[in-house]
Amino acid sequence: MSEEKQELVDLTIEEGTYKTLLTEKFKMKKKYEPKNTDHVYSIIPGTILKFFVKEGDTVKAGSPLLILEAMKMENIIKMPFDGKIRKILVSDGVRIAKDTLMVELDK
Partner 1 sequence: MSLEKEISLLKEEKAILQKGGGDAAIEKQVAMGKMTARERIAALLDKESFCEYDLFVKHEVHDFGMDKKELPCDGVVTGTGTINGKPVCIYAQDFTVMGGSLGLMHARKITKIMDHALKMQIPCIGINDSGGARIQEGVGALAGYGEIFYRNTMASGVIPQISVILGPCAGGAVYSPALTDFVFVVENISKMFITGPAVIETVLGEKISQEELGGARVHAEITGNAHFYSMNEKDCFDQIRTLLSYLPSNNTKKPDETKVMAPTFKGKLEDFIPADPKQPYDVRDIIKAITDGSEFFEIQELFARNIVIGFGRINGQSVGFVANQPLYLAGVLDCDSADKAARFIRFCDAFNIPIVTLEDMPGYLPGVDQEHAGVIRHGAKVLYAYSEATVPKITVILRKAYGGGYIAMNSRHLGADFVFAWPCAEIAVMGPDGAANIIFSKEIKDAEDLEAMRKEKIQEYKDKFANPYVAAARGFIDSVIEPSQTRAMLIHTLTISKDKTEVRPTKKHGLPPF
Say whether residue 8 binds partner 1 (CB under 8 A).
Answer: yes
Question: Within 13 Å, how many C-alpha atoms sit on residue 75's CB side?
Answer: 14
Q: What is the rounded CA–CA span in Å between residue 60 and residue 79?
A: 7
Kindly tell me which residue out of 26, 54, 73, 91 binds partner 1, with binding defined by CB under 8 A: 26
Closest contact distance (angstroms) between CB of 101 and partner 1 is 17
Of 42, 59, 26, 24, nearest to 103 by C-alpha is: 42
Return the range that interacts with partner 1 (CB under 8 A); candidates 12-20, 35-43, 60-68, 75-83.
12-20
Say whether residue 4 binds partner 1 (CB under 8 A).
Answer: no
Say whether residue 89 binds partner 1 (CB under 8 A).
Answer: no
Say whether residue 13 binds partner 1 (CB under 8 A).
Answer: yes
Residue 9, SS3 per DSSP: strand
Say whether residue 3 binds partner 1 (CB under 8 A).
Answer: yes
Taking residue 103's Cβ as centre, other Cβ atoms within 10 Å add up to: 21
Of 101, 104, 72, 67, nearest to 85 by C-alpha is: 104
Residues that bind partner 1 in the complex, under the rule CB under 8 A: 1, 3, 8, 11-26, 28-30, 32, 45, 71, 95, 97
